Amino acid sequence: MAIAKENVHQEFRGESPLPRGPRILLILEGVNTLRKRLSKFWVKNKTEGTKGNESPTVEALGEFLFMGRSP
């Protein structure tokens, strides 16, 4: 996600976006279970003072899973 944000900043500055590599096909099975496990891990292991209840990993996974789909 940091790369995507940097690409946006570079485009606003009129610079060319970062080079992209070849497309990668990723097949995931049991994503619902993965999200639940990551959420439980976050609740147990997040550092004190961290804002938000959702793990940044779960948030990024959600963004990744729905990338390119219309709302």
Q: What confidence tens digit (pLDDT) does each residue in 36-63 have?
A: 999 999 889 888 888 878 888 888 888 8
| pLDDT of 1 higher than 90 | no
Q: According to the model, what pLDDT value does residue 55 have?
A: 87
Q: Where are the domains of the chain?
A: 25-71
Task: For residues 6 and 16, give the distance between their C-alpha atoms in angstroms, rounded to a whole number.
Answer: 11
Question: What Å distances lie between residue 48 and 51, 59, 66, CA to CA?
Answer: 9, 19, 30
